[in-house]
Amino acid sequence: MNISYVFQGAILLNKKKIVNIRNIVFCCLLCLVFTLSHFCYANISREYQIKAVFLYNYSKFITWPEHAFSSAGSPFTLCLLGKDPFGQILDITVEKENMRGRKVEIKRIQQIDDITGCQILYISKSVEFQLRKIYRHVRQYPILTVSDISDFVGRGGMIEFINENNKVRFTIDSEQLRSVGLQADANLLKIAVPR
């Protein structure tokens, strides 16, 4: 047996081991990245799953005037203004649901001028810089405004999501609701965090 062949075989074997170790390390890192991203998504999803349920359930505890709907058969429309933090979670939450005999629809909008037909308007943090303009426009209609923008209610919004002790809670400005003809049920006001 030629020693040079044995030596070359050992070098090839060691190179394959090095390549295999690199592949294993790469795969482990890749798995770690996917696991961490899934963990982060799961946390965000959990928060927005809860917020999606709240958004839909607000429709059960708020009374809209008849003129808030263009006709008796008009859907109940929940609008999202700006970047959508819910993804498909909100669509899944309201799928096959109705609000007092009206089909519930989700409408994603990017311009405040597109709020026609909305009963609830979720205002994303991505459009926070436009809040004054949004409020001026929305106050003309019986639309419930909801957001998780910091101090949303203090700045003229109606319902603000807040995180309190790792729980999603909300606060309400019932005066703002009444100013556009909306009425909050007393049970909803009882579970809201006092302002």
Q: Are 81 and 124 in contact (CB under 8 A)?
A: yes
φ, ψ for residue 34, nearest 5 deg: -65, -40
Strand intervals (E) in the chain:
62-63, 76-81, 98-99, 102-109, 120-123, 144-147, 159-164, 167-172, 183-184
Per-residue pLDDT of the chain (195 residues), as tens digits, is 555 454 455 455 555 555 555 545 433 333 333 333 333 344 457 899 999 999 999 999 999 999 999 998 899 999 999 999 999 999 999 998 888 889 999 999 999 999 989 999 999 999 999 999 999 999 999 999 999 999 999 999 999 999 998 899 999 999 999 999 999 999 999 999 998
Per-domain boundaries in the chain: 46-191
Length of the chain: 195
Which CATH architecture fits 46-191?
A: 3-Layer(aba) Sandwich (3.40)
φ, ψ for residue 105, nearest 5 deg: -125, 150
